[in-house]
A and B are shown apart, each in its own frame.
Chain A
């Protein structure tokens, strides 16, 4: 047992673990953003809204169709991903040759529309969603009480993050994708349907957001505003990690979760700002982000 600035080691370990859990959400969301930005050069401002929709689809599956959490974990990303595919196919693809700002404006507008529609229908107080029976309760780790559901969140999101990183950096499909980003015309010439690949990649990134939404549903409320609360932070994570860097966004997501957690102990008033302070410092020292390559 030791003490730092009046905080016992016990409390500190607890806070670190909580930081990692929150970091898991940042990592999952920033990963989707990084995939979409890195591969498609789209600054996807609808990401937060799609995360929210992912949570709502889980809620609707349970309340309208009686389909529980485990199926929602599969079905909600598929349904939301399909919505993403439609958005890409019918809207974003038309902007592919224009400046990034157009995509940003479109996705930002869509985010506002989605949030407005859900708020209109479901209100702003949020809706309850119970964790699955298998994951209720918790374990006493000695230094803190760890709810089983949070343990599940952290391990599951680590698997998803690393799996995505591996798929993009170390598989044939991933190499096609990276090549298509570098030089779409050449990859097309090899007989690969680049347009379809881009659409599916966008759908996949959206699916990741929805997956994070389902994971978040039992912890936070299913709330139309849940996305706009988190999306700005997630953008900061992506910027700090280096726009488009897959591994960078994963590591930064977890690390910033911890940094935020520690701030909540030592200077709670600043906990909502600390990430932006870090972002400003990182940008001053390394304008391309911690893991970004200068082009």
Chain B
């Protein structure tokens, strides 16, 4: 039951070991009590806690718990809140909250994140990119390359000029490039929700019976 004490190495191990964002979130949240008990007087501890909360914060974002991520920022001790890494997190939170795509990518890529947090920052960047790609694909029937590039964190100016490299990236996702109208036509990405329970089948049958002419 008792987890090994929290340390930088332990944190790295947890980050490396977690098979999925949900697992990462669970294992990090088990450490929150421990983190709470660590005094924040020495710089070494401050550094550890800052790294822990940064990782914990990103595990929220990776599991789309933005409201809880915001709550987390209210729980972080004052001294830790002042560290650069956590300040970056706050800026990122605001940008994600307001869906400022350009800023999000900029924060993730350009702000100085501590070495140990790099991996989780990067995994969030690719997660966010994938998530946005799915959302854009399902929302837009036709999109200007510059707008699409902004959403996905690519260079909008290049995309606007019809840069083949950029366009090819979209085409690789199954999108169609219309040279004449200079528009991209995204291909909807439908991910089938997990269907496992027998209940699903039962309801499936009933719902199938409600035919279009049914009422």
Answer whether A and B are interacting partners: no
